[in-house]
Amino acid sequence: MIKRELVVIGGGSAGIAAAIAAYNNGCKDILLLEKDAELGGILLQCIHNGFGLHRFGEELSGPAYAEKWKDSLAQTSVDVRTSTTVIHLTSDKHITYVNPNEGYVTVEAGAIVLAVGCRERSRGAIATPGYRPSGVWTAGTAQKYINMQGYMVGKRVFILGSGDIGLIMARRMVLEGAKVLGVAEIMPYSNGLPRNIKQCLDDFDIPLYLSHTVTDIRGKARLNGITISKVDEKLTPIPGTEMDFDVDTLLLSVGLIPDTALLNEAGIKLHNKTKGATVNEHMETSIPGVFACGNGLHVHDLVDFVSMEGEEAGAAAAKYLRGELIRKEDSVIEAGNGISYVLPSYIDTEAMEESMEIKCRVTGNARNVKLTLKNGDKLIKEIKKLRVAPSEMEKIEVKKAEFGAAKGRFVLALEEL
Amino acid sequence: MGETTKTYTCIVCPRGCDVTATLNDKGDILSIEGNFCPRGEEYVRNELTHPMRQLTSTVIIKGGLYDRLPVILSSPIPKDRMMDVMKALDGVEVSSPISRGDVVISDVCGLGVDVVASRSM
Amino acid sequence: MYDIIIIGAGIIGSFIAHDLSKKLCNVLVIDKEADVANGATMANSAIVHAGYDPEPGTLKAKLNVRGNRMYPGICESLGEPYVRCSAFVAATSEAESRILDTLAERAGERDIEYRDMDGDSARELEENLSDDVIRVLEFPTTGIIYPWNIAIALMEEAVMNGVDLKLSEEVVDITKEERYKVTTDRGVYEADMVINAAGVYADRIYAMALKGEPDFHIKPRRGEYYVIDEMAKPVVNRVIYPVPGPDGKGVLVVPTIHNNVLIGPNSQPVDDKEAVCNTSEALNDVKARASKTVKNLPFDKVIRTFAGLRPSGDTHDFVIEESKTLAGFVNVACIESPGLASAPAISEYVIDNFVKDAYPDKNASDYVHRKPITFMTGMSDEERNELISKDPDYGRIVCRCCLVSKGEVKEAINRPVGATTVKGVKKRVGPGLGRCQGGFCEPLIVDILAGELGVDRADIRYDSAESVMLIGQTKKGAL
């Protein structure tokens, strides 16, 4: 069996960054596997601007952001295979992949970085009632048709879910000549970035129906109408609040889920909230030497942070391969009041580096709050926030010195000031 | 003398600051607050007088990996001219190879702004 | 000029066409749908029931038992999977347990293998069986199949052996003169015999020929289902039935060949013969009822819901008979459950009773057998690599959920009775059935269809001609 030091699975923003970081940290035998015909991942269809402000100090389109990273990758000796799909991943780090040139190949990896990305929740996953005509797509699928293949998907459009892709696609459809009749969001707040509400909906007078969801889909062949209803606090539709829209297209932007098919096969422990792997502060999964990052680990709102996480995972993998990733005792970090999830799940406060970053999302919009990290009653770290929202990932840097001798169970919570 | 306030969600970066402008009854700006960086102030000044927007779209490309090439503007344009630029892109065709930053249409619609390729293909 | 026209290309029409293709006669199959197996055959529980359930003395009882015994051999000859997964009928009360006594008695009379066990023994075999289950009858001969793929395979072999197939053609009139004249929205065809296998429309088709009120009526009963994502360890390994009631077999939990799980159906009479929509009431009902027999159902892993219409009649049994007034007009109607399980026996019954020996058999050596469609997931790496060396497209994965290659998709399109639509590709080789529900693969499938069929992407349909997907190109003057 062929042996490789490091195999990076996925050539999107996380995977490219992981490969470069591993290379820069001394790992020179790296195989990067990408299922599509070129590197870049989902960025290639995200032709809008807004990428790279943190990384490059300028606002780039998705393809431009990917291109800059690909240019950096080209300066390394990372071995890239495109049109290559990973079929199997085992717990002993055997990877089987297939591509048209080599066929099925199994390699044994010293370390693995999983940068597999996420998928969109489909209509089936939310069990929307009604018929199943054509004309109902996830926003990302429509984005691919329009931006890469150059085909329009419809003329009169409604959007379910206020995730960023849905908002971006609302503007995109209008600019290409469609009429967008509205966006319904089941939660009482938007899931997208405030700037996208402004520049994608408000700019084009597209109404946003908060606390509404689609309760009927009509049309036996092509979609010809939908009904939306207001929902109560339990998110159950309220009879009598129905509104009908004559539309030929319904785009769904109802959430993204890490793609975990490979993780399941390898028996990697999953996080019950993010639906991705559970990791420690080195982005290492429950299998030593297997690292995870990017939207395949948890769904990010900014690609710049995906790249940064990829770099962390790549650097950690290189360290692992050098035999320097020493672990003594795992403590756990859990989500407390007001927090929907926290990452990493595990930390070794004794063997950790000088500082680490905790990422979390809150469960609801709030103002004038603080995020507190506690070990029992002992406060480890506290940061004040003017505003928090579920759509925006929060990051908290904690120094080793701040942990001190604390270990065991840590809880991150949201508290009022 | 009457003062009015207007609040804007800044779209300059993903931070999305809520920026409040205070105006006197002649419409002069008295203060701008809530912005994290100077670009937020500039954004709100523009919103009050002449809102500007970046525009991204595609043009037809022949011989490329895909059938459309993503394009972007060299700088933002007045918001109310976005559809004019979209119409100007209709029917425009380029051929592979093309490099990121290559000008696809110069001075589009006389706006003094270029449409450029936002990736190489 | 045909000897026999079959109306309907579902599982029944396909079995009959396949049986007739072994005889020296000219056969035409007509269906209004864009593909074979698009009606009840596409949306059901996909089970070959053992045959203990139907009332004694019915055609259902006789043909279900016979059909169950015929399936394994037929699937083997077609190269289609048949998995004898076994089934539990689970009782949760003494009253239900008494119904199990009746089923056991019927099974004994019909020579159907079964085992009787208490709840705890059953839970040792199926760990997610509800704690409320007190007694179980196991029927090991229960099988699972992909009904639409069997229909497609049958029709494919029938067409390879001379049967004509007209899809997307709707029968609008039938008249009997010297022969039968069947008029569709596209043409007129003549035959000596008409076999009506039109599913939910069988009563209307018969009425067309009768020019009057038929002696059976079909009132479809809708069944709604959830599909659970493929899991390393599916929640059940056997079909789990509740004890049957007046509504039928009840809400089942069904493993599928590719490790998905189906949960359903309810049973709701509907007037509209096309009302294949889901309702939240029914889905909630299915959820509640399934939980009576199986615990730990992973409803957070639902990837799809769907609804199917059973062609249920007012006759309470299959109607398989020649018209009393129209000689040579054979109705094969009201084929509700266990219609799928009975299908091969129904076809045999039709041939034996109504076609008889009107046409001699072809020489077995003249009969062409289909080559099973390539399924790379069932191959060794060596076999796969040999295939890829011949056509690299077999190494190009287009569906990452079900791991389907471009080569397999091309094959599905270019076979006899090949796929012409996105749904057709999905039925034959799987892209779109998995957890992304087509989100990633659909644009690729549209591309491959357009390339293989030599048409523009905008000409590709999801299913019927009206199910338009892409409405036209951008940047071509639409603004």
pLDDT digits (tens, 9 = 90+) for B75-110: 999 999 999 999 999 999 999 999 999 999 999 999
CB contact under 8 A, A148 and B67: yes
- The counts of H helices and E strands in chain A are 10, 28
CB contact under 8 A, C477 and B60: no
Best interface-test mutation with A: which of C390, C393, C468 has the largest number of A CBs within 10 A? Answer: C468
Nearest chain B residue (CA) to C476: B91
What is the per-residue pLDDT across C271-304, written as a single tens digit (0 to 9) for each? 999 999 999 999 999 999 999 999 999 998 999 9
Q: Which residue has the tokens 């993998």?
A: A317
C477 in contact with B, Cβ within 8 Å: yes
Cis peptide before C338 (omega within 30 of 0): yes
**A18 alpha carbon, distance to own chain's centre:** 16
Q: What is the DSSP string of A111-176?
A: EEEE---EEE--HHHHT--B---BTEEEHHHHHHIIIII-EE--SEEEEE---HHHHHHHHHHHHT
Best interface-test mutation with B: which of C444, C457, C470, C474 has the largest number of B CBs within 10 A? Answer: C474
Give the whole-angstrom CA distance, residue A406 versus residue A35.
43
C212 in contact with B, Cβ within 8 Å: no
Give the whole-angstrom CA distance, residue A317 versus residue A322.
9
**Crossing angle between the packed helical segments C406-414 and C422-429, to the nearest 10 degrees:** 110
Give the whole-angstrom CA distance, residue C171 versus residue C195.
13
pLDDT tens, position by position, for chain C (479 residues)?
Answer: 899 999 999 999 999 999 999 999 999 999 999 999 999 999 999 999 999 999 999 999 999 999 999 999 999 999 999 999 999 999 999 999 999 999 999 999 999 999 999 999 999 999 999 999 999 999 999 999 999 999 999 999 999 999 999 999 999 999 999 999 999 999 999 999 999 999 999 999 999 999 999 999 999 999 999 999 988 788 999 999 999 988 788 999 999 998 899 999 999 999 999 999 999 999 999 999 999 999 999 998 999 999 999 999 999 899 999 999 999 999 999 999 999 999 999 999 999 999 999 999 999 999 999 999 998 988 999 999 999 999 999 999 999 888 999 999 999 999 999 999 999 999 999 998 888 899 999 999 999 999 999 999 999 999 999 999 999 999 998 88
Q: Is the pLDDT of residue B1 over 70?
A: no
Phi, psi of C264 (to 5 degrees): 155, -175
Give the whole-angstrom CA distance, residue A384 versus residue A387.
9
Q: What would the 3-class secondary structure string for chain B be? A: CCEEEEEEECCCCCCCCEEEEEEECCCCEEEEECCCCHHHHHHHHHHHHCCEECCEEEEEEECCCCCEEEEEECCCEEHHHHHHHHHHHCCCEEECCCCCCCEEECCHHHCCCCEEECCCC
- What six digits make up the tokens of C116? 């009787």
Nearest chain B residue (CA) to A40: B119
- What six digits make up the tokens of A122? 């489909």
Phi, psi of A359 (to 5 degrees): -110, 145
Whether the CB-CB separation of A124 and C304 falls below 8 Å is answered with yes
Question: Candidates 3.40.50.880, 3.40.50.2000, 3.50.50.60, 3.10.129.10; correct CATH number of C2-40+147-217+315-366?
Answer: 3.50.50.60
- What six digits make up the tokens of A24? 């820069």
**Nearest-by-Cβ selection for A64 from B9, B55, B100:** B100
Question: Candidates 3.40.120, 1.10.10, 2.40.10, 2.40.50; correct CATH number of C376-459?
Answer: 1.10.10
CA distance A230 to chain C (A): 15
C444 in contact with B, Cβ within 8 Å: no
The total number of structural domains in chain B stands at 2
Residue positions counted in chain A: 417
Among B69, C454, B120, B71, residue whose Cα is nearest residue A150: B69
Whether the CB-CB separation of B48 and B6 falls below 8 Å is answered with yes
- CATH superfamily, domain at A1-120+256-326: FAD/NAD(P)-binding domain (3.50.50.60)
Please count the residue pairs, one from chain A and one from chain B, whose beta carbons lie less than 8 angstroms apart: 81
- What six digits make up the tokens of A380? 């480890």
Could you give the count of Cα atoms lying within 13 Å of A227 in the half-sphere of its Cβ? 18
ipTM of predicted complex: 0.95
Beta bridge partners of A225: A218
Same fold, A1-120+256-326 and A122-254: yes
Residues 6+ apart with CB under 8 A from A256: A118, A119, A120, A121, A163, A295, A299
Give the pLDDT of residue B9.
Answer: 86
Whether the CB-CB separation of C150 and C80 falls below 8 Å is answered with yes
pTM of this structure: 0.95
* Residues of B in Cβ contact (< 8 Å) with A66: 119
Q: What is the DSSP string of A167-210?
A: HHHHHHHHHTT-EEEEEEESSSS-SS-HHHIIIIIGGGT--EEE
Give me the residue spans of the domains in chain A.
1-120+256-326, 122-254, 328-417
Residue B61 and residue B110 share a domain: yes
B64: domain CATH number? 3.10.530.10
Residue B22 and residue B7 share a domain: yes
Residues 6+ apart with CB under 8 A from B26: none
Which letter, b or e, does each residue of C13-35 get, where b requires 16 or more Cβ atoms within 10 Å of its Cβ?
bbbbbbbbbbbebbbbbbbbbbb
CB contact under 8 A, A38 and B67: no
Give the whole-angstrom CA distance, residue B67 versus residue A146.
10
Residue B95 and residue B80 share a domain: yes
Beta carbons within 10 angstroms of residue A42's beta carbon? 23
Residue B10 and residue B61 share a domain: no
3-state secondary structure of A2: strand
The arrangement of secondary structure in A122-254, i.e. its CATH architecture, is: 3-Layer(bba) Sandwich (3.50)
CB contact under 8 A, B18 and A194: yes
Best interface-test mutation with A: which of B8, B11, B77 has the largest number of A CBs within 10 A? Answer: B11
CA distance B92 to chain C (A): 7
Could you give the count of Cα atoms lying within 13 Å of C428 in the half-sphere of its Cβ? 32
Give the pLDDT of residue A92.
Answer: 96
Residue B61 and residue B44 share a domain: no
Interface of B with C in 37-96 (CB under 8 A): 58-60, 68, 83, 86-87, 89-92
What is the per-residue pLDDT across A111-152, written as a single tens digit (0 to 9) for each? 999 999 999 999 888 889 999 999 999 999 999 999 999 999
CA distance C474 to chain A (A): 5
Q: A99: part of which helix (H) or strand (E)? A: strand A94-99
State the catalytic residues of C.
49
End-to-end CA distance of chain C: 51
Question: Candidates 3.10.310.30, 3.40.190.80, 3.40.50.970, 3.30.9.10; correct CATH number of C87-140+219-310?
Answer: 3.30.9.10
**C5 alpha carbon, distance to own chain's centre:** 21
Tell me how far CA of residue C107 lies from CA of C54, C58, C155, in angstroms: 10, 14, 33
Pairing, β A118-120 against β A212-218: unpaired
Give me the residue spans of the domains in chain C.
2-40+147-217+315-366, 87-140+219-310, 376-459
Q: Which spans in C337-420 are helix H? A: 339-350, 381-390, 406-414
**A230 alpha carbon, distance to own chain's centre:** 28
pLDDT tens, position by position, for chain A (417 residues)?
Answer: 899 999 999 999 999 999 999 999 999 999 999 999 999 999 999 999 999 988 999 999 999 999 999 999 999 999 999 999 999 999 999 999 999 999 999 999 999 999 999 999 998 888 899 999 999 999 999 999 999 999 999 999 999 999 999 999 999 999 999 999 999 999 998 888 888 999 999 999 999 999 999 999 999 999 999 999 999 999 999 999 999 999 999 999 999 999 998 998 899 999 999 999 999 999 999 999 999 999 999 999 899 999 999 999 999 999 999 999 988 889 999 999 999 999 999 999 998 999 999 999 999 999 999 999 999 999 999 999 988 988 889 999 999 999 999 999 999 999 998
Residue B88 and residue B109 share a domain: yes
As a whole number, the mean pLDDT across chain A is: 96
- What domain range includes position B20? 3-49
